[in-house]
Structure formats: C-alpha cells, structure tokens
Amino acid sequence: MGIITQQSYNINPVLAKHSMNQSPRKFTKGVLFSGAIVATAALHLFGPMWCHAVHAALKDSPKAVVDEAWQIVNHEYVDGSFNHVDWQVVRQQLLSKNYTSKEQAYTALRAALKQLGDPYTRFMDPKQYQALTNQTSGELSGVGIRLELDEKTKNISIVEPIENSPAFKAGIKPGDWLVAIDGKPTKGMTLEQASALIRGEVGTPVSLKLSRKEKGEFDVQLTRAQIELASVRYSLKQEGKLKIGYIRFSEFSSHAATQMNRAIKDLTNQQANAFVLDMRENPGGLLHASIEIARMWMDNGAIVRTVDRLGDSEEFKANHTAISKLPLAVLVDGNSASASEILTGALKDNRRATVVGSQTFGKALVQSVHSLSDGSGLAVTIAHYFTPNGTDIGHKGVTPDVKIDLTEDQQKQLLSNPALVATQNDPQYERAIAVLEKTNLAQANSNQSVPSLSSR
C-alpha cells in the first residue's frame, strides 16, 4: 500500500514511503499517494465471500481483477457510505456480467468507480500502472534525454541530457536533432513513439543518429541504464545584498528528500543568506517525502494530520532535525497540489516561511495505490488530511501570505521562456525577494538593538 498526494490532472503521480496508522489487516501490494509504498498480500483482502469455489470460478478470468479492485475499495475507501451507493449491489452487477476481454472488464470497473464521485479513486490498465510505478521511484530506465517536438517541422530535438546519464556522458547536447533510433527514422514520430523506442531494459544497447549544426549527422551508441531523475534543482543567486539559495522543486519522488538535503547543505556552504523554495507547478507525490522535507526546515511543530474513514487520526511532527533556520520564502500557484500543499501548510502555519504566489490547488485527500494480479493498478482514496492549524484545504487550497497572481501574458512569457523564471521578469519571485530583504533587514535591526556585553 502507498500514499498519494497529487493533483488530479497529472496522470503520473509520484509516491513516497510511509506507514499509515490503520486497523490491523493485510492488503494487496500497493502504494500510497501523498505518501507511502507498503507491501501487502492480496489473498487476505477477501472476506468470507471469497470462498474456494468463487476463487476457482474467477481464476484467470477478467472478473478476478474486477473483484480484486472491488474488495480493495470495500475495505479502504474513505467514505463508508460509498457516496450513498450500495457497494454490495455494485459487486453483484460487476460479477454478473460476462466479459469477453480484459478491456470490457476494465470499462465496467471504471464505470463502477465513477459512481463514487471521486476523481482520485481510479483504475489503471497495465501500461498506465507501469508508467506510474516508473515515475514513483524517481528513476527511469533509458539513456537520459528529454525530447521536444517542433510543431512546424515535426522534427524531434534534444531538450537536455540528464546529468550523469549515458546521453550526458556521450556528449549529447541540447539542440541536437534526433534523426533515427536503431535505424528507424524519427520523422513523423510522436514523442511517445520515440520515447518508447529509446526506453528499454538496463544494460541493453540503443543506437541514435543525431544531427548538429556544426557537425552534421553522426551516430551515438549508448547502453541503457537506471537513471535518477532530478526533482530538485538549485543555484545561488545574488539579489542586491542578499545571497539567495534558490531551490526549484518539481515533485515529491522517492529521491526528493535526499536531493533536498543536498541542496540545502550545498547552498548553506555557499554562504546563502536566505532561501526561496519554488513549488509552483509541483503536483505532489509521496507523503513521506513531504514530511521528511518539512523536518529539514522545521525544528518544532506539527506538519500534517490524516484521518481515515473510521475517524482514526495520525499526526506527524517535526523532530528537531532542521538543517537550516535561515529566512525562507515559498512560491506556489494553482498547480501546487497535494504533498506541495502539505509542506506549504506546515511551513505557513508554523510561521517558518512566508508563502508568496497564487492560491494552491486544494487537494486534501490521501490515496493508496495497489497493484492488481494482472499487472493493472488501483488508486483509492483512504484518508483526509488537515494542516497543523486544523484547516481543511479541500477545494480551497492554501492562501498565500502574500497573494500575487500572474497575468495571462506573464504566464505565457514564463512558459515560453523558462530562463526568465526566478529573474526580475518573474513577478512572484521578485515579490519573494522583497519579502526576504525585509525579513533580513528586520533581523539585522533586531540584532543591533541587543547591547553587547562590553557596553553593559
């Protein structure tokens, strides 16, 4: 079982490791969004109805996966009334149908889940579930390049090679054109088709034909590897008299906490005076990652409280392990969701940071993600969460301390030219710097007002 905190529109949620405080029982192997990955066992999910006769009748039938999913929802779903739907009748309806294919069963299951009125409780076919699990680890198997399709020419180019990846080590550069993959021309391919050809098992070879202005066409032989994806990017910025440790945080993957720890320590060693934590466009991910990262900024105080369908709650707190106590500003927007909102709410309610930007997305639910016996998967909402002050941000979001919305033109400008993000052309970043300058000045004045021992 695992825990999810992620915005609904993102089909590839990210997960974290965490164990929820639940009544003792066993589950199918799964993952919790907003939070955790927990191993479980499918057999124990099924109650008295799951007798040997029924098991034999459903074995290797599409109905087996349908009933697996039904059982998980029956035991786990946060709303015990199932949105006022008779869930036992739903099971009877699902098992009374004759499915001629898995796809038919998947369609029926999706229709049944839709009755719950919860967009976060959803079924994933094997391909969708595999895509999710690939991302939850914060790793991928491939050569480590980001691709872009030119809408006019329909050519595929390299946006950037991932640091320390096979592509990076082979000298592939941003702007290189991808001409062919293992001899297959990429002209007319979609990004998905090209990516599928490049991906593969670790240790297997792939040949890329590239084109570079000053070099022309050339071949690169690569060996696929397991690559850690960067959730955290950072740099030291000189803003007036302040040295700002700028941290761009894109998702709460399983490597996010380690990467954040490294960023804070490195920027501190570079003599940063203050930090900007940019979580704009961060859709969330692992609950455990959000708790770990909150503890890097907070020495004391509550971080988040979760409540399951039985009313049982669990509160997570800081544990005196903060890495930095320097002034902190957090940037958020309408696409900052789930685990992002947990971290933002914790830092805001504990007055550890000043939150700057737009109202956040407003996802206050926790999901568990389970693998099913045929390789498909199920995400099911299992709990609500509340900020340290007891605020339910569902459908409302976290309100910034300093609210500043970007105009449509400003959004387009930053989207079309990412190099302008976190510069004087980024109004939200500029406001965060102004906040930190004011905080730094106030702290300096406070320190000056305290008489030294020699003057007493």
**Residue 185: both structure tokens together:** 């021309």
Report the alpha-carbon distance of residue 404 to residue 427 in Å, rounded: 8
Nearest C-alpha neighbor of 31 from the set 305, 306, 366, 386: 366
Q: Tokens at residue 112, please?
A: 């049944």
In the block, residue with structure tokens 């914060």: 138
Distance CA 183, CA 242 (A): 52
Q: Are 162 and 146 in contact (CB under 8 A)?
A: yes
Catalytic residue among 29, 63, 209, 363: 363
- DSSP conformational letter for 432: H
Selecting among 34, 157, 254, 338, the annotated active-site residue is: 338
Catalytic member of 67, 118, 308, 349: 349
Burial class of residue 407, CB neighbours in 10 A (0-12, 13-18, 19+): exposed
DSSP string computed for 173-232 = -TT-EEEEETTEE-TT--HHHHHHHH---TT-EEEEEEEETTTEEEEEEEE-EEEE--SE
Closest CA to 383 of 78, 6, 25: 78
363 labelled catalytic: yes
Rounded Cα distance between 40 and 31, Å, is: 10
Left (φ > 0), alpha (ψ -120 to 50) or beta: where does 117 sit? left
Q: Give yes or no: 338 in active site.
A: yes
Distance of CA 69 to the CA centre of its chain: 24
Our answer to whether residue 312 is catalytic in this structure is no
Dist. CA 87–CA 75, nearest whole Å = 11
Cα gap 156→221, rounded to integer Å: 18
How far is the C-alpha of 220 from the C-alpha of 436, rounded, in Å? 47
The 3-state DSSP class for residue 31 equals: strand
Give the residue numbers annotated as catalytic, written as ranges.
338, 349, 363
